[in-house]
Structure 1
C-alpha cells in the first residue's frame, strides 16, 4: 500500500563537478600507453580506466576544454612517430575517439594540427587502413576527421602533385582525387561513405569540407553530386546494404549543403530535391534515414531562398535578463520594443522559387512523424525557412502549422477536436516554439496560438490501458519558455492569467515528473523575463525544479500553498474536477480527490455550491473512471466541508442543501440497486470507492441516523468482505482496508446510543456473524472478518471479548486443512492487538471487557505461537507474514501493558518475547530480520516506563546503544550479524540466536552467508581458550540439533553450518581428546538425521560433517570412515561421487588417518574410479578401500 502513490523513475543521481580533477591521472595514462599496449589485459584495463574518467564528464563536457589540446598533442605524437607499432597507434586513436565522444567532434576539430606537412602522412595512414577491420574503426574515424581539417589548407592542391609519373613509369593519382576517393571509392573499391561503422560520419564531414574548396568545387563538385544521387537512386531502404548506403549519401549531402556557399549549391538543389522525392524516405521504417532526409530537405529549402533577416520579424528590445532585472520602474512600461511587423516591407525583394512550397509541405508532414528526432528536425527547418520568407508567406506557413492541432473554429469551454495524433501536436508545439523564439510569430497571431498552447499543456489522450501526450505537454512548456524570452510583457498581458494558471496546473498536477519540471522551468523563465505573473517569486520558492519532483508532495502540499493565492484557486480546482478525477490512472484519481479535500479550505462556498452539484451526477454516471473519481471526490469534499463547519462552530450541514444531502445519500442506492455496478471488474473500483464514501460521511456525522441507508451501507461492507476471494490479488488489500475503515467509522457514528452503548440485538447479530465467518473455508473471508473484528469499537466488543479472542485464536492455529492460510493467520494476529488496544487494560477487570490477569497469558500464548509459523508454499516463506504480524502485535500489546498495568507482564513471558525476537533478528530474510531487529530495540529502549524483566538488559544496551536505535541497518547483513552474534555470549539468548544463525550460515544467499558465517567464526575464535564457554556453546548447538531433528528447514542448513565450523577449526580445542562427548553425540545426530533420507542436499551436507569429524581422536574415526564407505555405495550416483571427492580431500588434509604405505593406492582408487558406475563395480572398489584402511566392510542387509 505504501507504493500505491509512489512514482517510478523520478530519482536521478548527478554529481556536479567543478573542474577536470583527473588531469594528472590522465597524463599518466596517456604517458604510459607505450608500456601497456603490448599486453591485452593491461591495455584493456587502461582503456576501461580512461573511459570511466571521461564518462563522468558526459553532462559537463566543457570542463575538458582547457585540457583538450595537450591530450590531443600527446596522443597524436604517438601516432606521428614512425617507430610506433600499429597496435600502439590504434590505442592512441581509440583514446582520441573516447575524448571526442564526450566533447563532440565539432569542438575537437579545430584543435587538429593542419599544416602542409601533415597532409601526406595522414593520407598514407588512411591508405594503410582496412575498412573491414572492426577492431580499428576508431583509428579510421579520427584520421578522416583529421584529414577534413587538413584539407582546408589555403593552397591549390595541384601544387602537391609535382611529377605524376613515378620512377617506375606508372602514373600517380592527383592529391585531389586521392582525398576524394578516400571518402568515395578508393583503389580497393571500398567506400567510407558506405561503411556501417562510425567512419561513415567522419567521411561525410570530410566530403563537405573538401568539396567546397574553390579548386575542388570547380573540378569535382558536379561529378561527386552525380555519383551521390546515382547511389541514392539505385539503393533501397528495404535492405540493410541499401540502408547503409543511403545513410552515407544523405549525411554527405546534408553536410555539403550546410557548409557550401548558396551560390555554389543552388544550381544542383532542384535536382537533389527531385531525387530525394523519388526516394520516398517518409515510407521508410528507418528513423535515421527519415531524420537525415528531413535535415537535407530543410537545407535545400535554405538554399532556395536568400539568407536575409526579415525586416518584418518581431524584435524585443531588451534581450538581456540582467538588463531586464535592472530596468527602472515598471517592466512593462520601460522595456524598449521594436516591432517591425507594421513597417512597410513592400520594398523588399523576394525571389521565392516554386520548390519552396514542396520543401515547406515536406517539413509540415515531418512534424507528424512518429519519431521525435524527425519532428524536431522538421520544426527547426520550419523556423529557419520562415525567417527568409515574406510576411504573407510566413503567415501562411503559420496557418498551415496551426492546422496540426485541428482546432475547432469556436473556442469555448476548451472544445477541441482530436483529429490529429499526439505526434502532430508535439511537432506543432516544437515548431511554434522555434517560430516564437526567432521572432517570426507576430503579436497578431498570439491570440490564435495561446488557446492551442493551453490545450497542449493538458493534452492527455487515452490509448488502451494507458495514455499518450506527455511529450506534447513537455513541448508546450517549451513554447511557454520560448515566448517568455521572445515577447515584451505588454504583448502577453491579455493572456497572462491563462498562461500562468496553466503552467501552475502542469507544474503541480501533471502525472509525469519531466512535465512538472518543464512547467516549473517555464514558469520560472516567465517570472524572470516577463515579471507579470501573479505572486511569481513566492510560488517559485515552493514549486522549484526539485520540489515538483515528488508527485505526492505536489498534490497534497504545494497545491495547498499555491491555492492560497486567489488567482490560482479556482483554475486548480476546475482542472482537478474536469481533467483529473476521471484520469485513467487510479493513483492520479485518488491523489486528485485528496487534493480537493485540502483545497476545500481555500474555497468552501465554491466547492459546496458549484463543484459538489457537478460531481453528484457524475458519481452515478456511465463512465467507470469518472464515476470512481467522482465518488471519492464527493467523499473528500464532504468531509472537508464538515470539518470546516465544525471548526467554525457551525452546523454540520451548513454548506449543504437538501439536494446535495439527498444526492450523497442516494449514491450507494443508485450504484447497487439500479445499476448493479458492484459486480465484475468495475466492482473492484466501486466497492472501495463507496466504502470510502461511507467512511467519510460517517466521520462527517451526516444526519442519517435511523435512515434505511445505514442498513444498505452495512450490507455493502459485509458483502465486500465476503467477496474478497473473487477480486484480483492486486486490489484485494486495498478493498479490504477500505471496507474495514468504513466499518469502524460507521459503527462509531451510527450504532451508539446516547448512553454510549450499542443495541444488544445489533451487537449480538454483528459479533456472532463476524466470529462465525472466521471459520469460513475461504482464506480471504477469514482475513476480511478478522480485520473487521479488530476494527469494531469498544461498545460493540464489550461483554464479547472472550468470544472474539477465542475466534481469532482458532484462525491462528495451523491445521492440515488450512496450513496454507498464512494471510488469514497474519490478519488474525493483527486483529488481536487491535482488539486489545480498543478494550484497554485493567488488571482485576472482567475478561469479557478488558485485557486482564485472566486472559493476558492466553493473548501472549497466541501471539508467541505466530512466531513459530514457517509455512512455505509456491509463494515462498508465507509464514513470514504471520511472524511479522506477530512481532508487531507483541510489541503493541507489551507497550500497552507497560503503560497501563506493568505488573501483568510476567518475567517468563518477557524472556520468551525477547528471545524469539533475537532469533528472528538472526535469520536469513532481510525484511523479517530488519522488522525483528526494530521491534527488539524498541522494546529494549522504551522508557515510559521501561519494559520489565528484559534478560541481560545492561549487556544488551552495551551491544545496542540507544544512539544507534534508528541508524543500525538491520537489512544489511554486514551490520546486523556482527551485533547479533554477540548475544551468543548471553546464556538466555544463546539457544535462540544460534537457531537463527543456523538458517543464515547454512543458507543460499551469498551476502547473508558470508557475513553471518564470518561473525560466527569471529565469536568462536574469541572463546577458543575458554573451555566453559566452548562447552556451553557446544551443548547448546547439540540441543538445537536434537530439537530440530528431521526438521529440514533447520537441520539441512545446520549441517552446512557444522561443515563450515569443522573446516574452520572452531572445535580444535576438543580434537586432542579421545572420544570427546561432543563429537560422539554430533556423529550420532548426523547419522540419525540422514537415516533413510532421499534428500540430496541433506546427504551432501552430511558428507562434509562426517569428513570434518575425522579430525577427532579415538574410536570415532573408524565409525566415521564406516559411515563414509556406506555413502560410497549409496543408491544415488551423485552422492557416491561427492563422497569420493570429499574423502580424497579429507585424506590429503588429515594425513594421519591412513597408513603412509597405502596412502598413494587409496588416493588412486578414490580418484580413478568411476563412482557413477553400476553398484557391483563400485562396491568392489569400496571394499578394496576398506581392506587398505582396515575398516570393516559394510554388509548388505537382506530385505
Structure 2
C-alpha cells in the first residue's frame, strides 16, 4: 500500500502495529500469538516510519515497540521463535540509526541517549548464544559504524522471499567512515571505542574476503566486543548477552565467550565493574519465589540458570572479590528459595562451592545449604551436590575452619556472643565425611539409608541438623485439622474436619 494512502491514518496504523509488536492483542500475550505476524509488524513499522517526520509521541511509541521486539524471547515447539522478531527489529533499528547521520533526519530521535540505547540493544544480540543473530548483529553494527548500510529493502527481501545472507557487508565495510559531523542524535556514546572494537584486523579482513564468512562465525565477536564492558553506557546490555553465552549449554560458544570475559577481567577495576553489574542484574531480575514459577528479567524467561552458571565460573576463576561475596550469597540463596527448577538448583551448587573458599560465617552458611541440597528430593540435585562437595573436600588440606570469622565490610561479632561458632573440623573427620559423600548412592530412593548417611555427614562436619527447609532430615509437620464443611444434617449441625481423604464429621 502506498505510504500516501496511509498519511491520514498514520497515527492509527502506527498504534496498531506497535500493539501487535508488543504482544498486547491477545490476553495470553506473545506465547499465544504468531511470531511471523510480529515479524511482519516490525518490518511494517520500519516502512511506515523511515523517512517520515514523526511527532514526539509517535517517536516514543516507536522506540517502545522496538525495545519490546528486541526483548521478544517467545518460544514454542519450533524453539526461540522470538528470534525472528529480534532479527527484523535489528534491521529496522539500524535503518533508523543510519538516518540520524543526516542533517534533517526522519524520523529524528530526540537525543544521543536514544541512539546509545538502540546501539546497546544491538550489542546484546551480538554476544548472545544464537549464531545467526550474533552474526547479523555484528554485521549490522559494522555496517553502521564502519561501512555501508544494506537498507531496509534487503530485510524485506530476506523475510518475504527467503533471500540468504551474504558476508553481511563486512568485506565492503572495512574503511572507517568516522563519526562525521555531530547531529542532534548522532553519534552514540563512546563512538571511537565502539568503532575501534568493530573494526576487523587485517588478517581477519583477508580471511573474510577469501572465505566469504563473517567474523562472528568464528566467535571472534566475543574478543572484539568484551572491551566495551569498560564503557558504562554499554556494560549492562553486553553483560546480559554474555551471561547467556557463558552460562549456556552450547559448548563452543560458552568456551569462547568465557575465554573473552576472563581475559577482560584480568584487572581489579574490571572485576569491580562487572561484579557491580552482576548484582544489579540480580536485583532487577524480578524474582518469583513461588515453587515452580518461572524467573525472568524483562521478557526473557529462564535465564537464572545461565546467570548462576556464569557467577560460579567467575568464582572458580577468582574473578569475584571478597567484598561481593556476601551479596552474591544472599542473592543466590534467594534465587533458589522454594525453587524446584533442576537447572537453577544445580547451577547454584557451583556458586555455593565457590563461596566456600573464604573462611568465616559465609563458608558455614554455604556448606549448610549444600548439605540441604544433599538431602533434596530430586536425585539429580543430590548427585550433582555430592560430586561438587567431594571435589571441594578433596581440595581441603588439613583442618576445615568453619568458625564464624567476621567478613570484610561487616561488623565483627562480640567476643562473648554465644551464637558465634568456633568449629574447627579435624582433617581426619573431613576425610571421613569425604568418604561418605563419595560412597553413598545418592540416587537411591531409600530415604532411611540416605537419612542415616546424611546425618553422619552432618556429624563429621560438626554442622547442626536442619530444622527447616526441604532436606529429608527436616521433621515432617503434622497436618493440622481444619474445618472443611459445615452442614445441617438429620443428626444435627455437623462440621467435617481433617485432611483430604482422612476427614470425619463432628456433630455439635
**TM-score, scaled relative to structure 2:** 0.71
Q: Is the 8 A contact 1:1090 1:1102 kept in 2?
A: yes
CA-based RMSD of the aligned residues comes to: 2.3
C-alpha offsets along residues 603-622 of structure 1, whole Å, 9 cap, x if unaligned?
A: xxxxxxxxxxxxxxxxxxxx
Match of 1:831 among 29, 44, 51: 44
* Partner SS for 1:971: helix
Contact 1:918-1:992 at 8 Å conserved across structures: yes
Structure 1 SS opposite 2:80: coil
TM-score (norm 1): 0.31
| 1:1106 shift after superposition | 1.1
Which residue of the partner structure matches residue 130 of structure 1? none
Query: In the alignment, what sits opposite 2:73?
Result: 870
> Is there any run of 5+ residues in structure 1 with no aligned partner, and where?
1-791, 842-849, 1071-1075
2:320 counterpart of 1:1086: no
Select the residue among 259, 274, 297 that pairs with 1:1033: 274
Query: Counterpart in 2 of 1:1064?
Result: 317
Residue deviations 1:550-588 (CA, integer Å, cap 9, x gap) = xxxxxxxxxxxxxxxxxxxxxxxxxxxxxxxxxxxxxxx
| Shift in Å, 1:1060 | 1.9
Task: Give secondary structure in 1 for the equivalent of 2:303.
Answer: helix
Q: 1:1096 to 1:1172 in 2, by over 3 A?
A: same
Structure 2 residue aligned with 1:881: 84
Q: Secondary structure at the match of 2:433?
A: helix
1:955 counterpart (160, 169, 193): 193
Match of 1:1164 among 427, 435, 441: 435
- Provide the residue aligned with 1:1178 in structure 2: 450
Change in CA separation of 1:1007 and 1:1097 when aligned onto 2, cut-off 3 Å: same
Contact residue 973 and residue 1007 of structure 1 kept, 8 A: no
SS in structure 2 at match of 1:972: helix
Change (3 A) 1:1104 1:1156: same
Equivalent residue, structure 1, for 2:390: 1144
Corresponding position of 1:916: 121
Question: What corresponds to 1:131 in structure 2?
Answer: none
Indicate the structure whose relative CO is greater, using CA pairs within 8 Å and at least 6 residues apart: 2
* Aligned pair partner of 2:233 in 988, 991, 994: 988
Supply the distance in 2 between the matched residues of 1:997 and 1:975 (Cα, whole angstroms): 13
1:907 to 97, 112, 116: 112
Q: Secondary structure at the match of 1:1014?
A: helix
What do the CA deviations read for 1:1065-1118 (whole angstroms, capped 9, x no partner)? 223x42xxxxx3x11121122112222222222211111111111012321011
- Which of 466, 480, 484 matches 1:1194? 466
Q: Deviations over 1:693-717 (max 9, x none)?
A: xxxxxxxxxxxxxxxxxxxxxxxxx
Q: What CA distance in whole angstroms lies between the structure 1 residues aligned with 2:30 and 2:119?
A: 29
How many Å apart are 1:1172 and its aligned residue?
Answer: 2.5
Q: How many Å separate the matches in 1 of 2:47 and 2:37?
A: 15
Q: Is the 8 A contact 1:969 1:976 kept in 2?
A: no
Residue of structure 2 equivalent to 1:1128 = 374
Deviation, 1:940, is: 2.5
**Greater per-residue strand proportion:** 2
Structure 2 contact 18–61 (Cα < 8 Å) conserved: no
Aligned partners of 2:29, 2:319: CA distance in 1, in Å?
Answer: 44
Report the CA distance shift for 1:857/1:933 in structure 2 as closer, same or farther (over 3 A): same
Superposition map of 1:628-667 within 5 A: none
Distance 2:39 2:429 in 1: 62
CA deviation after TM superposition for structure 1 residue 1037, in Å: 1.1
Q: Give the alignment partner of residue 217 of structure 2, picking from 972, 977, 987.
A: 972
| Aligned residue runs from structure 1 range 507-586, under 5 A | none
Shift in Å, 1:1018: 1.2
Aligned to 2:34: 821
Within a 5 Å distance, the mapping from 1:44-193 to structure 2 comes to none
Give the 5 Å matches for 1:733-752: none
- What is the CA-CA distance between 1:1126 and the residue it aligns to? 0.6
Q: Equivalences for 1:435-474 in 2 at 5 Å?
A: none
* Structure 2 CA distance for partners of 1:970 and 1:1043, relative to 1, 3 Å: farther
Separation (CA, whole Å) in 2 of partners of 1:818 and 1:1058: 30
Which of the residues 794, 805, 815 maps onto 2:14? Answer: 805
CA distance in structure 2 between the aligned counterparts of 1:1055 and 1:1120, rounded to whole angstroms: 15
Give the greater-gyration-radius structure (CA).
1
Q: Give deviations 1:1012-1047, integer Å, cap 9, x for gaps.
A: 1111111122x1xx3x43222211011122323422
Judge conservation of contact 1:1140–1:1167 (CA < 8 Å) in 2.
yes
Question: Using the alignment, how far apart are the partners of 2:37 and 2:133 within structure 1?
Answer: 18
Partner residue, 1:934: 139
2:248 is paired with a residue whose SS is coil
CA contact (8 A) 2:271 2:319 kept: no
For residue 139 of structure 2, give the secondary structure of its aligned residue in structure 1: helix
Partner of 2:443, secondary structure, is coil
C-alpha contact (below 8 Å) 1:1059/1:1108 kept by paired residues: yes
Higher helix share: 1
Distance 1:962 1:1165, change over 3 A: closer
The Cα of 1:929 is off from its aligned counterpart by 0.8
Post-superposition CA distance 1:609-650 (Å, at most 9, x none): xxxxxxxxxxxxxxxxxxxxxxxxxxxxxxxxxxxxxxxxxx
Shift of 1:949: 3.8
Aligned residues of 2:30 and 2:74 also touching (Cα < 8 A): no
Unaligned residue ranges in structure 2 (runs of 5+): 148-176, 288-294, 401-424, 468-473, 480-508
